[in-house]
Structure 1
Amino acid sequence: MSQGARLIPTFLRYWLFVFALLFSFTVAISSANAADAAKNSDSKAAYTALADILSDASSRDALIAELRDSAKTGKPPAPPSNKEATAPPRSDSFAEQLDTTVQGYLAAAQNKLNNVVTTLKAPPHKAFNPDTFWPALSHFLFTVAVTFAIFLSIRFFATPFYKRIGSWGHKAREKRVDWARRPTAILSAFIIDLLILLFCITAGNIIAASFGSTSFGHNSPAVMRQQTLFLNAFALIEFFKAILRLIFAPKFDYLRPFPFSDATAKYWNTRLAWLSGLIGYGLMVVVPITNVQLGTSVGVLVNFCIMLALTVYAIGLILINRTPIQKEITALGNRSLAFFGMFLHALSHVWHLLAIGYFLVLFLLSQFDPGNSLAFMMDATIKSLLVVGCGALVSGLLTRWISRRITLPAEMKLKYPMLERRVNSYIPSALQIMRFIVVVAILLFLLDAWHIFNLRSWLDSATGEKIIGGIIHILLIMFIAVLGWTLLASIIEHRLSLEMDNPKHPGARERTLLTLFRNVLSIVITTITVMIILSQIGINIAPLLAGAGALTLAVSFGAQTLVKDVINGIFIQFENGMNTGEYVTVFGITGTVERMTIRSIGLRDDYGVYHLVPYSSITTVANYAREFGVYRANYVISRDEDIEKANEVLKQAVAELRENPRLKSLLIGEPAFNGVVKLDDISFTLRTTIRTVALQQWTIQYALDKLVKEHFQRAGIKTPHQNVQISYAEQQRKALPPLEGEDGITP
């Protein structure tokens, strides 16, 4: 099967869905009229029943007696028993309500169709009377001609004024001296259009009331009604054309708010103006006059022919210009911000479907309610444009703010190092949430404008109040949680960022506890916020808390090591066993503490290897960074050297170390010379003990070993060396050659 053949069923299914949707819109609007008719019918029936009761003497006497009895007792007459009335109201589900609504719409639509068929089959209610028709037509055409003559004349003489306004705004735009001039010029031209329209409507009413009837001698209500129909249509259609001139400005390019070319602006303004004029005057003038003069059946036929022809023309115009407009919208999307670019790219693919659907809705509405369909479409269109325009403006501002980065002063950055990054991560997320709310609000207002959804009634209902209140509460809770976390985290980070020379600078233990507290605080705030939000949504969190407790108990049995890790870590911190940045030995690993969590520590050893050690594995902590360090130096000297001399040279080396300006600040107290601490066959060992600043004992070790080596070398003090004596048998000794410079080898 070819691709085109496969597309035909999909196309048909799509258009069937569109027609069904549009049909439901039409029936929804017409159902209000059916309800009013039913109400009027009930009122007529009640009046008829009351008249029948009063016309019968016995019934009238019984009614008077019952009313007098009610006046004495103060109780109203008992209503007739009705089992259905006393039955409790039925609470239908959403599916049942939807089914009932759809059935009501279909019944109303069937009613309308039956009325249309009956009207077409019925004979004219009166015969055509040329004696009244032609004078009335002349009277009507006189009003039309004078009104249009005044309107076109005023617009012609106002042309230089429009040019001056446009030139004034354009010069300011070229010089870039005042950005508000051009919008002011465009808005001023639109206001002038509306003032001219208002003046012409007033003049038309005066002419219709004063000159027309007296000139032709026809002051009948029918003639006045026809004039009123024209003036109402004139006001509505010319207002729409004023909006078209505001958008396209075909004659004054300086007043054009959008970057259309002159040819494009004239093309669309001309066609849309003619289309709106034919539709408006056809529905609001021609069809009502035809109904009065020629009969309802002829009016229905004229209405159908006019709207069918104009709808076909509009759809053809849309399909012809589908590709060019799609390219224009795509190009505009490429030049727009990310959010608008995505929206415009999506719109470029479906704009023709929306436009075709718009004219199909107008066609269907015109067949069911020709008198009010155009007014409804105009009202819905203007509301939609206002809603989309305001929403686009707000979304555009939010999009620009999202892309901006907040920069804090240097002093504040120094006090709160992470605050700027945290704010720049929170604000875009908050603005994106606001933009999503704006988009949802636009959709709701659009549905309300087209009477698909009654927004005001929904807001007044319990469901609407609950949803809106819940959303506001959730946003408020999230705002308070984020604000609280930001303030508390900033306070902790401010404390951690204090300089070393600041007397309030936190120690290593305080820094570790602050870091752990910040981590625990984030977990607690997140958990509480999630629980409160769930409760606002309507979820009962009591079972969740109970389940969490049971789950915690089960996990504690299955993860005893984890619990042990946490408990050991807590006691290590309380006892100040180690802190971040200290040099320790735990679990046989020596290194610097880089990270401490609630269950483990991270160590970096001298080879750069990172070790993750759980607290439960730590039985002993050796901390090298507490208070002071000690270097215990042992120097092995040959046994042949003088002990006193060697000890004196060692003291000289230590004295030179203490005089070093770079190293003397690392020493604490006086060094201790312990003398000979070991004696063996070939050497003895001298020891000195030096107390240093914590973690500086290795620096002292390297410096002292160098000095001791130099002093011993200058004093001629030798370290022990091992002597090896080799013995040979007599035959082997004789076989060996004599060594150079020696007589032989002593056996």
Structure 2
Amino acid sequence: MLKPLQPFAMRQKGFRAIISTLLLACFAAFAFVRPACAADASSNTGLSDAQARQLISVLSNDSQRQQFLTTLQNLVKAQQNTKHTSLLTMARDNLTEFGERALQQLHVLHQNIIDFGAIGPWLGAVLHDAALQKTIAHIALRVLIMLAVSFVLLYSVRLVLRPLRRRINRMAKEHNKKVFQNAARKLRKANADAEGLAQHATDEATSAKTTSSHDDAESVQATLEESLRHQGALTQLMLCLRRAPYALAWAGLELLAIVMFPLVTLLMGVLDPAPTPQSDHALWSITWLVGIGLGLWVILLRIFLAPEAPWLRLSILHDRTANFIFRYLRHIGYIIAWGFAALDVIATMSVPSPVLHGLQKLLMLVVHFLLAVMIIRSRGIVRRACQLVGANNRHLQSLMSVIAKGWWIVALFFDGALWLVWAADIAGGYQIILQLFVRTIVALVIVRVVSILIYGGLERFMRALNDWNLNGETLARIRRYYPAATAIIRIIMAVITILALAIAWGAPVYLLMGQNTLGPRIFQAALTILVALIVGVVAWEVANVTIEHHIRRLDAQEGRDTKIRVARLQTLTPMFRILFLLILAVIIGLTVLSQLGIDTGPLIASASIFGVALGFGSQKLVQDFISGIFLLLENALTVGDAVTLNGTYGVIERLSLRSVHVRANDGSINIFSFSSLSQVTNYNRDFSRAMILATVDIESDTDQVAAILVEIGKEMRHEAPYKDLILADFDLWGVSAIGTSSVSVKGVYPTTNAGRWTVEWEFNRRMKKRFEEHGIQYPREVVDIQGAALERFITNAAPSGETPQPPQH
């Protein structure tokens, strides 16, 4: 009976799971798709009887149930596919996930490397265990006594041996000086012999053929220089070896002082009334590590580096380099010796092993950190050494340059990686480090080759522009984008370098390159933005080049119409550039925002609403802009025109999108908005006319006046300063006005726009001279005196024969 019931039970479990899933899906569907009767939805939150019966019938039928499940799965997939996730959101989510994983890994690494959890119970035991306290005090007292006595004896021995050390130092210095003098004498002799051989080779070469003698002299000189260089290096090495006796004698004196540490330890072991294995172990640990180990380390450093006594140095190093290396290596020796000695002493005090291991790892971390500082600060020393090697050997110059730039990065990598592998106790860690190093080198070489190809292609493209028969301005425009192109390539190469290093280090880059991941989105967005920028730049430059080429082509033609068209284009070009740049900026900006995942629909709607509000609020500004566009399109105003705007005369200096700037005759600048121009008078369109008006006395002969005007016009028509400014003969219009005491004769002189005032002013000057020659009078003022004023004038008149005087006030 159990066997038949088992499938039924399993079927019931699967059936319950299906029912639960369907009910959840139904509730979700009802939550998103609200019925029409939403008003009373709160009173009916469950399934109706008809819906329940329909659901039971669907679930009872296997085919309908499977179809229903398939439909629900397709809906879920469709919702996932149609869900819009912006690039910024994906980047934020990926960075958050990466940060969480990194923190977890760091937490695990921290637990594996440093575990100080047992230090609390040990401190509690020290506070409550009297025997442990007695043991710690016993060890600490003997360690302090041993260190104090050892250092006192050490400095005492050094004080006793100081005269002998000074004597050795003085003898070494004198010996070094003599050796240097002998070496310098030998080098001078070698140089003299080399010069004599070169001169001998040159003398012999002059008697032979010119080409063969020249080759022989050069080969002899090169051979001599090579031999002298090697002789100098060998001389320096022999100088160092000749210092060895004095350096070893000085080291022997230092060994006598170091012996005080084991001597004191032996004496304390003999004289200690209550020795223990723990105290003996602590004392001998300090003796071997601090006394003997550190002492020998410092002696070796002083033998080969000797920063304070170069005459005892057994290495070919400069003083600055030797001092730098000695200082850092001595500090590292102090930290290692004293640190491990302290750890051995602490270990005898029943400190838990995990705490000791953690302290050892921290101690070595300090050592590796000091090594990192040493590596960073020694970059200049290594760079100068590489430059020296490259200068001596041209074949190694490129290799030395690469080493000088990147050796410290490799050194820092190994410095940190070695400590991490040792501290984390990674299985096969050193092999992993070697593999990572090789992969990194290969990745960097590949990236370097790719960068050489890309930069080389850009350089070839720039050089090929000279063969394309382009004018200088077009070449200048293209080359202006060379820095931007190099910056973009630099960014691309940085991204490629990061990806190559990530692949070489085994990072899961494939997780970023799958479907619906961050990698393809970033690549697509970057490519689209780059293409949009390139298209915008090309469109901008093509528009500018086209306009300027059209202006130059028109400017090369003759005629007043073309000059006017050129002036109009030069006036409208800044406005068109601003509008075109604004359009490009909007299009590219919307493209960038859309690629970043920002919905531009609300932005466009907000911009439209803002534009409408701005239009209502700035009607005057819009009116100025539209009026200016029509005035400029109708060629009513151009920079340099002499105009009268609203009664103000001047020359146009600048035209903007909404105003015109006019420089008046008195030097003042007048700014008029385009919408405020009710009257525009332009004196620089097609031609001008010099208006000639001769107003003379009423009794003058108008025919004589007209004849004088015509004569002056004929004279100026053919004179050199004015014939180029006059377009036609003088046109006498005739008598234009007759007054009570004057008569006016008027005529015009057609001139160029620039010659109007020059011709008119010269004509008036000559007209006055001619009128004076012919006795033609200008009209006098006539005063009409009537009534009481006439009586007062007669009363105050002078006697007969005299001119009446005006009344006195």
After TM superposition, the score normalised by the length of structure 1 is 0.51
Note the alpha carbon deviations across 1:3-51, whole angstroms, 9 max, x for none: xxxxxxxxxxxxxxxxxxxxxxxxxxxxxxxxxxxxxxxxxxxxxxxxx
The 5 Å alignment of 1:135-284 reads: none
Instruction: Assess if the C-alpha contact under 8 Å between 1:416 and 1:493 holds in 2.
Output: no
Corresponding position: 1:375 with 2:431: yes
Aligned partner of 2:760 in structure 1 is 701
The structural deviation recorded for 1:356 is: 5.5
Corresponding position: 1:359 with 2:431: no
Q: Compare 496-505 and 593-602 and name the one that shifted more.
A: 496-505
The structural deviation recorded for 1:357 is: 6.5
Aligned partner of 1:6 in structure 2 is none
Report the 3-state secondary structure (helix = DSSP H, G, I; strand = E; otherwise coil) of the residue aligned with 1:598.
coil
Aligned partner of 1:643 in structure 2 is 702
The structural deviation recorded for 1:500 is: 3.5
The 5 Å alignment of 1:644-683 reads: 644-680=703-739, 683=742
Note the alpha carbon deviations across 1:284-311, whole angstroms, 9 max, x for none: xxxxxxxxxxxxxxxxxxx999999998
Report the 3-state secondary structure (helix = DSSP H, G, I; strand = E; otherwise coil) of the residue aligned with 2:748.
strand
Query: Among residues 519, 526, 533, which one is paired with 1:478 in the alignment?
Result: 533
Instruction: Assess if the C-alpha contact under 8 Å between 2:796 and 2:804 holds in 1.
Output: no
Aligned partner of 1:463 in structure 2 is 518
Report the 3-state secondary structure (helix = DSSP H, G, I; strand = E; otherwise coil) of the residue aligned with 2:745.
strand
Q: Which AA in structure 1 matches 2:428?
A: N
The structural deviation recorded for 1:615 is: 1.5
Query: Among residues 642, 649, 655, which one is paired with 1:590 in the alignment?
Result: 649
The structural deviation recorded for 1:501 is: 4.4
Corresponding position: 1:558 with 2:612: no
Instruction: Assess if the C-alpha contact under 8 Å between 2:644 and 2:682 holds in 1.
Output: yes
Note the alpha carbon deviations across 1:696-721, whole angstroms, 9 max, x for none: 32122123123323433443434456
Query: Among residues 612, 616, 628, which one is paired with 2:675 in the alignment?
Result: 616
Cα separation, 1, equivalents of 2:552 and 2:386? 49
Q: Which AA in structure 2 matches 1:482?
A: V
Tell me: CA distance 1:401–1:702, structure 2 relative to 1, closer, same or farther (3 Å): farther
Instruction: Assess if the C-alpha contact under 8 Å between 1:580 and 1:596 holds in 2.
Output: yes
The structural deviation recorded for 1:490 is: 0.7
Aligned partner of 1:488 in structure 2 is 543
Among all aligned residue pairs of Structure 1 and Structure 2, give the percentage whose two residues are the same amino acid.
22
Aligned partner of 2:508 in structure 1 is 454
Aligned partner of 2:394 in structure 1 is none
Query: Among residues 588, 598, 608, which one is paired with 1:529 in the alignment?
Result: 588
Note the alpha carbon deviations across 1:197-247, whole angstroms, 9 max, x for none: xxxxxxxxxxxxxxxxxxxxxxxxxxxxxxxxxxxxxxxxxxxxxxxxxxx
Aligned partner of 1:517 in structure 2 is 576
Note the alpha carbon deviations across 1:324-376, whole angstroms, 9 max, x for none: 4357669999xxxxxxxxxxxxx999998995664233233246566632232
Instruction: Assess if the C-alpha contact under 8 Å between 1:477 and 1:529 holds in 2.
Output: yes
Q: Which AA in structure 2 matches 1:651?
A: V
The structural deviation recorded for 1:475 is: 0.7
Q: Compare 366-375 and 558-567 and name the one that shifted more.
A: 366-375
Cα separation, 2, equivalents of 1:681 and 1:93? 99
The 5 Å alignment of 1:343-358 reads: 355=411, 358=414
Q: Which AA in structure 2 matches 1:492?
A: I
Instruction: Assess if the C-alpha contact under 8 Å between 2:693 and 2:744 holds in 1.
Output: yes
Query: Among residues 573, 598, 602, which one is paired with 2:661 in the alignment?
Result: 602
Instruction: Assess if the C-alpha contact under 8 Å between 2:660 and 2:673 holds in 1.
Output: yes
Corresponding position: 1:632 with 2:691: yes
Tell me: CA distance 1:310–1:567, structure 2 relative to 1, closer, same or farther (3 Å): closer
The structural deviation recorded for 1:539 is: 1.4
The structural deviation recorded for 1:416 is: 7.7
Instruction: Assess if the C-alpha contact under 8 Å between 1:682 and 1:720 holds in 2.
Output: yes
Cα separation, 2, equivalents of 1:705 and 1:481? 59
Indicate the RMSD between aligned Cα atoms, in angstroms.
Answer: 5.8
Report the 3-state secondary structure (helix = DSSP H, G, I; strand = E; otherwise coil) of the residue aligned with 1:578.
coil
Instruction: Assess if the C-alpha contact under 8 Å between 1:416 and 1:497 holds in 2.
Output: no
Instruction: Assess if the C-alpha contact under 8 Å between 2:114 and 2:358 holds in 1.
Output: no
Tell me: CA distance 1:709–1:96, structure 2 relative to 1, closer, same or farther (3 Å): closer
Cα separation, 1, equivalents of 2:491 and 2:485? 10
Cα separation, 1, equivalents of 2:529 and 2:729? 67
Cα separation, 1, equivalents of 2:374 and 2:594? 55
Instruction: Assess if the C-alpha contact under 8 Å between 1:624 and 1:695 holds in 2.
Output: no
Tell me: CA distance 1:495–1:262, structure 2 relative to 1, closer, same or farther (3 Å): farther
Report the 3-state secondary structure (helix = DSSP H, G, I; strand = E; otherwise coil) of the residue aligned with 2:553.
coil
Aligned partner of 1:236 in structure 2 is none
Instruction: Assess if the C-alpha contact under 8 Å between 2:713 and 2:729 holds in 1.
Output: no
Tell me: CA distance 1:600–1:457, structure 2 relative to 1, closer, same or farther (3 Å): same
The structural deviation recorded for 1:585 is: 2.1
The structural deviation recorded for 1:527 is: 1.3
The structural deviation recorded for 1:589 is: 3.0
Note the alpha carbon deviations across 1:459-487, whole angstroms, 9 max, x for none: 34521111112111111111111011111
Cα separation, 2, equivalents of 1:331 and 1:550? 68
Instruction: Assess if the C-alpha contact under 8 Å between 1:406 and 1:420 holds in 2.
Output: no
The 5 Å alignment of 1:364-403 reads: 364-366=420-422, 372-385=428-441, 387=443
The 5 Å alignment of 1:94-105 reads: 95=96, 98-99=99-100, 102-103=103-104
Q: Which AA in structure 1 matches 2:764?
A: D
Note the alpha carbon deviations across 1:657-706, whole angstroms, 9 max, x for none: 12224433433444332333344565433222222233432122123123
Q: Compare 626-635 and 513-522 and name the one that shifted more.
A: 513-522
The 5 Å alignment of 1:313-332 reads: 319=373, 323-325=377-379
Aligned partner of 1:200 in structure 2 is none
Aligned partner of 2:31 in structure 1 is none
Larger Rg: 2
Q: Compare 672-681 and 554-563 and name the one that shifted more.
A: 672-681
Report the 3-state secondary structure (helix = DSSP H, G, I; strand = E; otherwise coil) of the residue aligned with 1:611.
strand
Instruction: Assess if the C-alpha contact under 8 Å between 1:583 and 1:593 holds in 2.
Output: yes
Instruction: Assess if the C-alpha contact under 8 Å between 2:639 and 2:653 holds in 1.
Output: yes
Cα separation, 2, equivalents of 1:357 and 1:495? 61
The structural deviation recorded for 1:436 is: 2.6
Report the 3-state secondary structure (helix = DSSP H, G, I; strand = E; otherwise coil) of the residue aligned with 1:632.
strand
**Structure 2 segments unaligned to the other structure (5+ residues):** 22-72, 81-89, 119-214, 220-314, 330-356, 388-402
Q: Which AA in structure 1 matches 2:612?
A: L
After TM superposition, the score normalised by the length of structure 2 is 0.47
Instruction: Assess if the C-alpha contact under 8 Å between 2:375 and 2:412 holds in 1.
Output: no
The structural deviation recorded for 1:526 is: 1.8
The structural deviation recorded for 1:450 is: 3.8
Cα separation, 1, equivalents of 2:12 and 2:548? 77
Cα separation, 2, equivalents of 1:444 and 1:476? 22
The structural deviation recorded for 1:538 is: 1.4
Instruction: Assess if the C-alpha contact under 8 Å between 2:443 and 2:504 holds in 1.
Output: no
Q: Which AA in structure 1 matches 2:747?
A: T
Instruction: Assess if the C-alpha contact under 8 Å between 1:657 and 1:707 holds in 2.
Output: no
Cα separation, 2, equivalents of 1:366 and 1:460? 36
Instruction: Assess if the C-alpha contact under 8 Å between 1:666 and 1:692 holds in 2.
Output: yes
Cα separation, 1, equivalents of 2:93 and 2:377? 46
Tell me: CA distance 1:449–1:330, structure 2 relative to 1, closer, same or farther (3 Å): farther
The structural deviation recorded for 1:410 is: 13
The structural deviation recorded for 1:579 is: 3.3
Cα separation, 2, equivalents of 1:730 and 1:108? 129
Query: Among residues 435, 439, 447, which one is paired with 2:494 in the alignment?
Result: 439
Cα separation, 1, equivalents of 2:684 and 2:780? 38
Aligned partner of 1:428 in structure 2 is 483
